[in-house]
C-alpha cells in the first residue's frame, strides 16, 4: 500500500495584496510536494493569474480541473501565500464536489517585511477562509501552527498526517468486510452492530464455519492451489516443529478463505477460533490470519469485526500491516507500561524472529495436536499507534479512541506474540477504556499516525473520538 497521496492544490490570491507572493508561493508549495513524494493537481499560470484562485471565473476553472482528476485526488491543500480570496477558495471546493479532506495552510510573515509591497496578511486571511468554509458546510483540517512555511519541519509533519487522514477517509468509503464463523459464546466483548456499520458505508459479508469445512472437504491434498498455499505458508515462517498434516489443513483453509474474499471483494476479515476450529478441524487459523494481515488484508480473531476496522484504519494511515492485541498485563510498577499480547495471529512485520507453534492456552482443553498454527515471538521495539473502534448500539453511533506510544525493548519470558508498550498517561487511558465500556482488544501499528486517525474519524467521518495525549 502506498504511503503517498495526490492533492488538489488551491493557491489563494487577493489583488490588493502583493500577487507576486502567490506566484512564488505556488512554486514553493509544488516543489515541496514533489520533493516529499506527493502528487499535485493545480491551475497553471496559463489558466489563471500565476495559477492562483481569486475570481469566480478562477474558482470555476479550478473546480473543472479537480473534477477531471477526481479519481486521483485524495485531498485538497489550500495554500495562502497572501491573504487570499475567501470566496474563491470556498467556491472552488463547493463546485468541485470532491468530498475529500481539506487542509488550510498559511504562509508566515516576517517582521522586517511588513510594508505594503511585501506583507502577506495570510495570518488574517486564513481565519477568513476558514470562516467561509464553515459557512459553506465544507469540512477542513488545520495545520498545527496557524502559519507555517512549506519547508518547515512542522508543516512537513502536518502534511504527513494529512496524507494519512486522506487515505483513511478514502479507504473507508464503500468498504466490504467479512465475518467467518459465529461469535464465540464466551466473548460478549466482541459484539457489534452490522446496521450501524452499514450506515457508515461498511458492508459485512458472513460465512458459516460449516460451509468452510464443507468446501475444504472437496479439496484434494494435491490440488494445485493447496500445494501453492502450502509453499507460501512454509516460506512465511519457520515450520520445522509442525507436523505435515496440520500444515495441509492450514493450506486448504487458506485456499477457501482466499477464494471467498476474492469472490466477495472483501478488504479484511474476522474469524471464529475459540474453540470450534480446533475441536472440529484440528488447527488454529492464526498463521493464515497473520499472512493476510501481513499482506494488507487485516484479519482479527474471535469474530471481532469492528476491531478489524481499527486494524484497517491504521493500515490505511501508515501503509503498513496492523495487528489486533489484548491490553493484557501490567508491567511491573511502571504506570505507563503494559504488556500487549495475543496467542497469536500477529503479522510477522511485528516480530523479531517469528516461528510457527501450537496454541498453549487451548491445547490444555483440546490437545496440542489440534492447536498448531500460531505465529509466536517477541515484538520489535519501535513506534506504536493504537486504535479501537466500537459500535455504540445504545446511542446509535460509531466511536473510537486512539493515540501513540512506543514498543519498548523490555524482554519477557512467556508465549504467544508479546511485547511491552510505553504510553504516556496510560492509567488515564485505561480509566477511559473501562468507564466507557470499550473492548479488551485494540488494533496496533508500528507507526505514529494518531493525529491522522483522530482527524479522519472525528472531523470527516463524524465518529465520537477520544485522542489520548492530543
User: What does the pLDDT read at residue 218?
Assistant: 97
Please state the pTM of the whole predicted model: 0.96
- The mean pLDDT of 310-338, rounded to a whole number, is 98
Nearest-10 Cα torsion for 270, 276, 280, 282 = 70
Identical topology for domains 6-171 and 175-467 = no
Residue with cell 498526517: 161
Q: pLDDT-derived band of residue 2, with 50, 70 and 90 as boundaries?
A: low
pLDDT confidence of residue 4 = 86
pLDDT at 193: 96
Average pLDDT score over residue span 362-385: 95
Q: Residue 361 above 80 pLDDT?
A: yes
Ranges of each domain in the chain: 6-171, 175-467
Helix axes 244-264, 209-217, angle to 10 degrees: 120
In which band, very low, low, confident or very high, does the pLDDT at 51 lie, cut at 50, 70 and 90? Answer: very high
Res. 308: pLDDT tops 70: yes
> Confidence band (pLDDT; 50, 70, 90) for 185?
confident
> Tell me, what's the pLDDT at 19?
82
CATH 1.10.645.10 corresponds to the domain 175-467: no
Answer for the pair 176, 194: CB distance below 8 angstroms, yes or no. no
- Residue 444 near residue 420, CB atoms below 8 Å: no
At residue 334, the pLDDT reads 98
273 versus 443: which is more confidently predicted? 443
Lowest average pLDDT, out of 167-181, 330-344, 353-367, 441-455, goes to: 353-367
Sign of CA dihedral 167, 168, 173, 179: positive
Between residues 364 and 127, the one the model is more confident about: 127
- Any idea what DSSP says for residue 458? I
Local structure of 234: helix, strand or coil: helix
- DSSP-derived secondary structure letter, 237: S
Secondary structure class of 269 (helix, strand, coil)? strand
Radius of gyration of the chain (CA): 25
Closest CA to 129 of 120, 140, 118, 145: 140
What is the pLDDT averaged over residues 358-373? 92
Confidence of residue 144 (pLDDT cuts 50, 70, 90): very high
Longest dimension (CA), the chain: 82
Query: What was the pLDDT predicted at 314?
Result: 98
Is residue 1 over pLDDT 90?
no
The whole-chain average pLDDT of the chain stands at: 96
pLDDT for residue 76:
98
- Segment 87-128, tens digit of pLDDT: 999 999 999 999 999 999 999 998 888 777 788 999 999 999
- Tell me the C-alpha distance between 248 and 236, whole Å: 15
CB 144 within 8 A of CB 157: yes
Chosen CATH of 6-171 out of 3.40.50.10940, 2.60.410.10, 3.40.50.300, 3.10.20.30: 3.40.50.10940
358 bridge partner residues: 372
DSSP 197-225: HHHTTEEEEEE-HHHHHHHHHT--TT-HH
pLDDT (tens digit, 9 = 90+) per residue, 215-249? 999 999 999 999 999 999 999 999 999 999 999 99
Per-residue cell: 360: 498453549
Q: What ranges make up the beta strands (E) of 50-163?
A: 75-80, 102-106, 141-142
Q: What is the mean pLDDT of residues 7-24?
A: 90
Q: What is the pLDDT of residues 148-159, one digit of tens each?
A: 999 999 999 999
Amino acid at each position: 500500500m502506498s504511503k503517498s497521496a495526490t492533492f488538489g492544490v488551491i493557491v489563494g490570491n487577493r489583488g490588493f495584496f502583493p500577487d507576486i507572493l502567490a506566484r512564488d508561493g505556488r512554486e514553493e508549495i509544488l516543489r515541496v510536494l514533489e520533493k516529499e513524494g506527493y502528487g499535485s493537481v493545480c491551475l497553471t499560470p496559463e489558466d489563471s493569474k500565476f495559477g492562483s484562485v481569486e475570481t469566480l471565473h478562477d474558482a470555476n476553472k479550478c473546480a473543472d480541473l479537480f473534477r477531471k482528476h477526481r479519481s486521483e485526488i485524495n485531498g485538497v491543500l489550500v495554500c495562502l501565500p497572501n491573504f487570499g480570496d475567501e470566496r474563491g477558495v470556498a467556491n472552488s471546493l463547493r463546485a468541485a464536489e470532491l468530498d475529500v479532506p481539506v487542509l488550510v495552510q498559511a504562509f508566515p510573515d516576517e517582521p522586517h517585511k511588513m510594508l505594503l509591497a511585501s506583507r502577506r496578511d495570510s495570518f488574517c486571511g486564513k481565519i477568513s477562509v476558514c470562516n467561509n468554509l464553515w459557512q459553506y458546510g465544507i469540512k477542513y483540517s488545520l495545520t498545527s501552527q496557524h502559519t507555517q512555511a512549506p519547508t518547515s519541519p512542522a508543516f512537513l509533519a502536518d502534511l504527513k498526517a494529512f496524507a494519512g487522514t486522506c487515505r483513511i477517509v478514502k479507504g473507508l468509503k464503500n468498504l466490504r468486510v467479512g465475518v467467518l464463523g459465529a461469535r464465540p459464546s464466551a466473548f460478549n466483548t466482541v459484539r457489534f452492530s452490522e446496521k450501524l456499520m452499514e450506515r457508515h458505508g461498511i458492508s459485512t459479508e458472513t460465512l458459516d464455519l460449516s460451509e468452510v469445512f464443507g468446501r475444504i472437504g472437496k479439496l484434494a491434498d494435491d490440488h494445485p492451489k493447496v500445494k501453492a498455499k502450502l509453499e507460501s505458508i512454509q516460506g512465511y515462517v519457520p515450520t520445522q516443529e509442525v507436523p505435515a498434516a496440520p500444515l495441509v489443513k492450514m493450506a486448504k483453509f487458506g485456499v477457501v478463505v482466499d477464494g471467498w474474499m476474492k469472490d466477495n471483494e472483501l478488504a479484511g476479515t474476522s474469524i471464529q477460533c475459540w474453540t470450534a476450529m480446533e475441536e472440529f478441524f484440528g488447527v488454529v487459523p492464526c498463521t493464515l490470519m497473520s499472512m493476510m494481515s501481513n499482506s494488507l488484508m487485516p484479519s482479527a480473531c474471535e469474530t471481532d469485526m469492528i476491531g478489524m476496522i481499527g486494524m484497517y484504519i491504521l493500515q490505511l494511515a501508515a501503509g503498513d500491516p496492523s495487528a489486533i492485541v489484548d491490553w493484557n498485563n501490567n508491567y511491573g510498577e511502571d504506570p505507563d507500561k503494559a504488556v500487549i499480547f495475543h496467542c497469536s495471529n500477529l503479522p510477522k512485520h511485528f516480530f523479531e524472529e517469528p516461528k510457527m507453534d501450537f496454541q498453549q492456552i487451548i491445547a490444555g482443553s483440546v490437545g496440542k495436536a489440534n492447536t498448531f498454527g500460531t505465529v509466536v515471538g517477541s515484538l520489535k521495539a519501535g513506534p506504536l499507534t493504537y486504535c479501537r473502534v466500537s459500535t455504540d448500539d445504545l446511542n446509535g453511533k460509531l466511536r473510537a479512541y486512539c493515540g501513540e506510544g512506543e514498543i519498548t525493548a523490555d524482554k519477557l519470558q512467556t508465549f504467544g506474540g508479546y511485547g511491552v508498550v510505553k504510553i504516556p498517561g496510560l492509567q488515564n487511558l485505561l480509566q477511559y477504556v473501562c468507564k466507557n465500556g470499550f473492548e479488551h482488544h485494540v488494533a496496533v501499528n508500528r507507526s505514529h499516525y494518531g493525529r491522522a486517525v483522530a482527524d479522519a474519524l472525528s472531523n470527516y467521518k463524524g465518529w465520537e473520538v477520544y485522542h489520548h495525549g492530543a
